């Protein structure tokens, strides 16, 4: 258990959270892709995916701005 605790202590919590949210975003888009194969395409679904990608993209741009913090500070 101490080896796991040491490994977890080296990780930056913000980067771990960002990776988890990125994985969740990929799963949502993958689920949307799977749903396109079994259900009919609707304009509302297209708008929701565009909004999801836009929100995720703006979050990435905000996270990578100058002076965002993290390990380098």
Over residues 10-20, the pLDDT tens digits come to: 777 777 777 78
43 lies in a domain?
yes
The pTM for the full model equals 0.55
pLDDT for position 38: 86
Residue whose structure tokens are 């980067």 = 15
Burial class (CB in 10 A: 0-12, 13-18, 19+), 29: middle
Which is nearest to 47 in space by CA: 39, 55, 59?
55
Residue 67 has pLDDT above 70, yes or no: no
Domain containing 20 equals 2-63
26 lies in a domain?
yes
Any residues with CB less than 8 A from the CB of 63 and at least 6 apart, and which?
Answer: 18
38 lies in a domain?
yes
47 lies in a domain?
yes
Average pLDDT over residues 27-39: 83
On average, the pLDDT of the chain sits at 78
Identify which has the larger pLDDT, 15 or 51.
Answer: 51
69 lies in a domain?
no
Question: Could you give the CA distance from residue 16 to residue 22 in angstroms, rounded to a whole number?
Answer: 10
71 lies in a domain?
no
Number of domains in the chain: 1
């Amino acid at each position: 258990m101490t080896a796991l605790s040491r490994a977890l202590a080296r990780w930056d919590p913000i980067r771990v959270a960002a990776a988890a949210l990125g994985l969740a975003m990929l799963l949502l888009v993958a689920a949307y892709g799977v749903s396109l194969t079994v259900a009919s395409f609707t304009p509302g679904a297209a708008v929701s995916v565009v909004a999801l990608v836009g929100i995720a993209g703006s979050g990435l741009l905000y996270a990578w701005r100058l002076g965002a913090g993290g390990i380098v500070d």
